[in-house]
Amino acid sequence: MKRGVGYCENTDCEDYAKGVFLLNHGDTFYCPRCRQLGKVEKERGFYTGNSDIFKEVRVEYNFDPINGVYREIAIVRDESLWGRNNVYTLQSPLIKTEKRALKVAEAILANLNRYRGLLNGDDIPRTTEIIRSLDAPARDVARPVTEHSTPSDARTPVAQRS
Ligand SMILES: [Zn+2]
C-alpha cells in the first residue's frame, strides 16, 4: 500500500498547494479543481546501517509543497541499545504535527525490532493506524491491509522474544 499526497501547482487555483490524499496512486496527479497537472509526494522510508537492530527512527513531517521540503523532523531513539545500529527514516506528507510524528516514529521503532528481517525493498513498516495488523502471523504481514480491517481480523498472538 503506497500512500501519498497530490498538490496543485497552479498558483491561480483556489486549491494551490492544498493536499489531496492519494492511495496506490501513480506519479501523475491532476488537480480536481483546475484540472492542471500537479505533483505527487509519496510517503517513503529508507534506512542506513546493516545490523538487524534499529536504534533510531526519524520521521520527517510538515511537508512544504511549495519548496518541496520537509520542514520538521521527529526523532525517537532507544537509548537501551548500544553499538552500531540501524537508523530508519520515514518521510511522510501525511504527517503534520510533532505529536503524530513522534507516535508514528515510536510505532515504527517497536515494529522494526519486533519483526526484524521482514523489511525488504522500500516497504514502510506499519504505523499506528494499522498497528493491529501486526498481530497477524509473520507470513501475513506483507499482505495489503485496507483501512477497513475489522478488529477480528487475524489476531493470532505472536510469541514475545525475551
Ligand atoms: Zn488546482
**For residues 104-130, average pLDDT:** 71
> Is 90 exceeded by the pLDDT of residue 129?
no
Q: Are 20 and 28 in contact (CB under 8 A)?
A: no
> Is 50 exceeded by the pLDDT of residue 121?
yes
**For residues 53-77, average pLDDT:** 95
24 CA to centre of ligand 1 in angstroms: 21
Instruction: Look at residues 92, 161, 76 and name the one whose alpha carbon lies nearest to residue 124.
Output: 92
* % pLDDT > 90, the chain: 54
Exposure b/e, 29-44, CB count within 10 A at least 16 = b: bebeebeeebebbbbb
103 CA to centre of ligand 1 in angstroms: 32
Read off the pLDDT band of 126 (50, 70, 90).
Answer: low
12 CA to centre of ligand 1 in angstroms: 8
Q: Are 43 and 121 in contact (CB under 8 A)?
A: no
> Is 60 exceeded by the pLDDT of residue 158?
no
> Is 90 exceeded by the pLDDT of residue 43?
yes
Would you call 108 helix, strand, or coil by DSSP?
A: helix
| Residue 29 to residue 9: CA distance in whole angstroms | 10
16 CA to centre of ligand 1 in angstroms: 5
* % pLDDT > 70, the chain: 70
pTM of this prediction exceeds 0.85: no
In the chain the beta strands, taken as DSSP E runs, fall at: 3-7, 19-23, 39-42, 44-48, 54-64, 69-77, 86-91
pLDDT at 146: 41
DSSP state of 159: P
Task: Give the type of residue at 124.
Answer: I
83 CA to centre of ligand 1 in angstroms: 49
> Is 70 exceeded by the pLDDT of residue 147?
no
pLDDT at 135: 43
93 CA to centre of ligand 1 in angstroms: 18
Q: Facing residues of 23 across strands?
A: 3
60 CA to centre of ligand 1 in angstroms: 26
